Amino acid sequence: MTIDRISQRIKLSISLFATSTATLALIFSPVDRAQAATITSLYNTGVDNSGTVLANGTVGDPHYVLASVPSGTTSIRVLTSANGYPIGPWLGDNTTSRWIAPNSNSQVDGPAGDYTYRTTFDLTGFNASTAQITGLWTSDDGGVDIVLNTTHLGSFSNIGFSNFFTPFTISSGFQSGINTLDFIMHNSSGPTGLRTELRGTADLSATPASVPEPFTIIGTFIGGTAAFRMKKKLGANKSETTIK
Ligand SMILES: [Ca+2]
């Protein structure tokens, strides 16, 4: 056998070895095994980091800020029915969310105009393109818009603040890392506030396995065996060439 033919066989062997191993690794690797999970950094209004509702009169919400007000305070107060009016007529207490409002007075009065309540959540470790939020919200006065980062969900009519109204779903507009979710509502006069209940899910990001999968090992073994056989054959060919 000539040197050129031996060289061609070596190249073919290396190519087949690389292809078979890479194919097996691609098929059996866990890289693409996504799994939906809860976005744990997304919270209802008026709860602590464990999701437990806050006490009446708590100043500040750990997960929401008043990003924009017509005028007056941007400090937030958490309200329960223990506060009295305006809860009744506002939606009453439950164990999953609280009303939040400007920390103005006991009736949480606010000047007329638009208010933007903002919460942020982190999609680090998630595939942002698979994220989805389903939610309920109510406000005094009516809702105007929900904005995820730069995506507007559109206008909402005010059905009433004695119930959650206009359930919503967001399934696009998410981004990697920190996301911003704004609830915009309008107050004509008197008390003003917001209440939300949210649930978010997304696929976990694909992460390479630290330990090779069994089939990858098998692929490598097959490739290694083929390489060993070829090396042995080449040894024979080398002798054959020398004889010539
Ligand atoms: Ca009002």
Residues 170, 148: contact at Cβ < 8 Å?
yes
Dihedral of the alpha carbons of 148, 36, 166, 150, in degrees to the nearest 10? 10
Q: How far is the CA of 192 from the centre of ligand 1 (A)?
A: 5
Residue 207: pLDDT band (50, 70, 90) is low
Residues 157-193: pLDDT tens digits? Answer: 656 788 887 789 999 999 999 999 999 999 999 999 9
Q: How far is the CA of 92 from the centre of ligand 1 (A)?
A: 17
Q: How far is the CA of 189 from the centre of ligand 1 (A)?
A: 5
Q: How far is the CA of 108 from the centre of ligand 1 (A)?
A: 9
- Provide the residue count of the chain: 244
pTM of the model: 0.72
Residues 117-138: pLDDT tens digits? Answer: 999 999 999 999 999 999 999 9
Q: How far is the CA of 93 from the centre of ligand 1 (A)?
A: 19
In this prediction, residue 158 carries a pLDDT of 54
Q: How far is the CA of 113 from the centre of ligand 1 (A)?
A: 10
Q: Please, is 216 exposed, middle or buried when counting C-beta atoms within 10 Å of its C-beta (0-12, 13-18, 19+)?
A: buried
